[in-house]
């Protein structure tokens, strides 16, 4: 899931920086810094970044770029909303770059593909649930926390597979048979871990979850 340097032509790595810089600037401008500084939100944000650095450093794979690890993207987006999630997850990428897990030359491309696609999909799923279904605590937990987390990690896996297939780095048959099926298992793990963490937060510290409004999702229900 971490695309290494040198796997694609150098042009793609440079183009990724041109896409990444505006995305980062937009996230910095739209981030709710006042909310982050209130209470213990900043400590939770830093704690999740450190935890994900450790998780992303523990990966399984047999060929370059075909590794697997939990992402926490949907959970991070729900807890801190998209702008702070993008900034925080970029710091996670920076952490695994500094510890040698990822090459710096591939930083922007991984940020665009994994974080950009993952957070965009997270936002689409989150807003789709809000539009189509009642605002209820259990819908928030099970559809956003569990089900959407699995879909996001599988969507990120599909994005990487499309890159590998379209650039003929790996055969489509190999990706279909030896790589993509593992995302079903990874999605199940991502769903349970993200869902349980989100449930604990909502039960004991709902104020930590920026996208959750207790008066909307729980009051009188």
Query: Are 172 and 165 within 8 A, CB to CB?
Result: yes
- Residue 76 has a pLDDT of 98
Give the whole-angstrom CA distance, residue 45 versus residue 89: 10
What's the gap between Cα 91 and its chain centre?
Answer: 12
Q: Which of 67-71, 77-81, 127-131, 204-208 has the lowest mean pLDDT?
A: 67-71
Confidence bin at 219 (pLDDT 50/70/90): low
Report DSSP state, residue 208.
G
60 φ, ψ to 5°?
A: -120, 140
- Residue 163 has a pLDDT of 93
| Mean pLDDT, residues 73-87 | 97
Query: Are 5 and 161 within 8 A, CB to CB?
Result: no
Query: Are 13 and 106 within 8 A, CB to CB?
Result: yes
Could you give the domains of the chain?
10-215 (1.10.1760.20)
- Residue 213 has a pLDDT of 87
Q: Give 27-92 as a DSSP string.
A: HHHHS-HHHHHSTTHHHHHHHHHHHHHHHHHS-EESSTT-EE----HHHHHHHHHHHHHHHHHHHH
- Residue 25 has a pLDDT of 97
pLDDT tens per residue across span 27-64: 999 999 999 999 899 999 999 999 999 999 887 777 88
Give, for 193, the enclosing helix (H) or strand (E): helix 181-204
Q: Which residues pair with 68 in a beta bridge?
A: 60
Q: Does position 72 have pLDDT exceeding 80, yes or no?
A: yes
| Look-up of token digits 């998780």 | 55
Give the whole-angstrom CA distance, residue 143 versus residue 195: 9
Single pTM value for the model: 0.94
Q: Does position 5 have pLDDT exceeding 90, yes or no?
A: no
Q: Does position 106 have pLDDT exceeding 80, yes or no?
A: yes
Mean pLDDT rounded to a whole number for the chain = 92
Q: Which of 149-153, 154-158, 179-183 has the lowest mean pLDDT?
A: 179-183
**Exposure on the CB side of residue 192, measured as CA atoms within 13 A:** 5
Q: Does position 189 have pLDDT exceeding 90, yes or no?
A: yes
| Mean pLDDT, residues 58-74 | 85
- Residue 7 has a pLDDT of 86
Q: Which residues pair with 61 in a beta bridge?
A: 67
């Amino acid at each position: 899931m971490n695309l290494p340097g040198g796997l694609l032509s150098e042009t793609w790595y440079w183009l990724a920086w041109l896409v990444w810089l505006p995305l980062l600037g937009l996230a910095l401008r739209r981030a709710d810094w006042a909310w982050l500084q209130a209470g213990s939100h900043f400590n939770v944000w830093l704690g999740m970044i450190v935890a994900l650095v450790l998780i992303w450093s523990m990966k399984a794979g047999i060929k370059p770029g075909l590794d697997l690890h939990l992402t926490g993207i949907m959970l991070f987006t729900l807890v801190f909303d998209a702008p702070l999630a993008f900034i925080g997850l970029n710091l996670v990428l920076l952490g695994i770059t500094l510890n040698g897990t990822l090459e710096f030359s591939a930083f922007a491309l991984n940020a665009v593909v994994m974080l950009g696609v993952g957070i965009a999909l997270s936002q689409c799923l989150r807003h789709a649930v809000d539009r189509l279904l009642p605002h209820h605590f259990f819908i928030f937990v099970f559809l956003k926390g569990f089900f959407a987390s699995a879909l996001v990690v599988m969507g990120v896996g599909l994005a990487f597979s499309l890159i590998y297939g379209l650039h003929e780095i790996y055969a489509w048959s190999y990706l279909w048979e030896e790589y993509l099926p593992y995302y079903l298992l990874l999605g199940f793990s991502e769903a349970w871990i993200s869902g349980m963490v989100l449930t604990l937060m909502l039960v004991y510290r709902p104020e930590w979850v920026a996208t959750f409004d207790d008066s909307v999702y729980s009051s009188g229900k």
